[in-house]
């Protein structure tokens, strides 16, 4: 996404943009919130920013597996939301919940999830919107409470009721936070998919 020219975003291209954003966002949140040691992350340039990406092979495999399935569901308009939740390792209590609502314009899907007609959109516009969300994630340490407990995380994918769930996946409760504060973050759109971000955390 380096050109300023308007581009007709295909369904495949939109899925790739959203998937890539989710991957970088998850890595960034895990780094910023100290879920994994900082020395297990490496710096890469993306979206005109310096991003932190994990070098932990187990974590990368887990994220990649989720993103592969997510891509398939994004292509057919089945995804409603992706949630990254932080829980106390000892109590299992949900402490922090990052939500990314996904809206899909069904006018751009046919019965097989193929792209029908295009709408021109500047790569620069998309990158600027994604940049704004990533900057908010980075700045979140200024208002989010410290995660004093050792924490684990989980990725939850909300999909439509008739979606076919992979056999190795399991259904989960929503892991809501009791007595939470909620902060709405920015959004971005490809004209096919729109992603709205927010974070909620346990009130003291």
pLDDT tens by residue, 124-149? 899 999 999 999 999 998 999 999 88
Rounded Cα gap, residues 71 and 68, in angstroms: 5
So what's the pLDDT on residue 119? 57
In a domain, 156, yes or no: yes
pLDDT tens by residue, 44-76? 999 999 999 999 999 999 999 999 999 999 998
When pLDDT is cut at 50, 70 and 90, the band that residue 200 belongs to is very high
In a domain, 1, yes or no: no
In a domain, 68, yes or no: yes
Q: Quote the number of domains for the chain.
A: 1
- What six digits make up the tokens of 6? 């308007």
In a domain, 174, yes or no: yes
Q: What values do phi and psi take at 39, rounded to 5?
A: -70, -10
82 neighbors 70 (Cβ within 8 angstroms): yes
In a domain, 49, yes or no: yes
pLDDT tens by residue, 176-194? 788 889 999 999 999 899 9
Residue 191 sits in a domain of what CATH number?
A: 3.30.900.10
Rounded Cα gap, residues 105 and 128, in angstroms: 21
So what's the pLDDT on residue 110? 56
Residue 164 belongs to domain spanning: 6-202
Q: 79: Cβ–Cβ under 8 A, 6 or more apart, which residues?
A: 70, 73, 102, 104, 157, 158, 159
191: alpha, beta or left? (left if phi > 0; alpha if psi -120 to 50) = left
């Amino acid at each position: 996404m380096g050109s300023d020219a308007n581009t007709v975003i295909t369904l495949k291209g939109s899925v790739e943009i959203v998937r890539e954003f989710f991957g970088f966002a998850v890595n960034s949140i895990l780094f910023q919130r100290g879920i994994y040691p900082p020395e297990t992350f490496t710096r890469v340039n993306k979206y005109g920013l310096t991003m932190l990406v994990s070098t932990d092979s187990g974590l990368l495999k887990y994220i990649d597996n989720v993103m592969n399935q997510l891509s398939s569901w994004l292509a057919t308009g089945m995804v409603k939301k992706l949630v990254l939740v932080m829980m106390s390792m000892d109590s299992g209590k949900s402490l922090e919940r990052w939500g990314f609502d996904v809206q899909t314009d069904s006018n751009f899907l046919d019965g097989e999830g193929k792209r029908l007609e295009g709408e021109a959109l500047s790569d620069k516009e998309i990158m600027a919107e994604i940049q704004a969300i990533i900057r908010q994630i980075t700045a979140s340490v200024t208002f989010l409470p410290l995660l004093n407990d050792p924490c684990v995380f989980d990725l939850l994918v909300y999909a439509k009721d008739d979606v076919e769930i992979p056999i190795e996946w399991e259904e989960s409760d929503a892991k809501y936070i009791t007595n939470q504060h909620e902060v709405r973050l920015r959004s971005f759109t490809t004209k096919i998919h729109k992603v709205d971000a927010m974070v909620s955390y346990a009130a003291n």
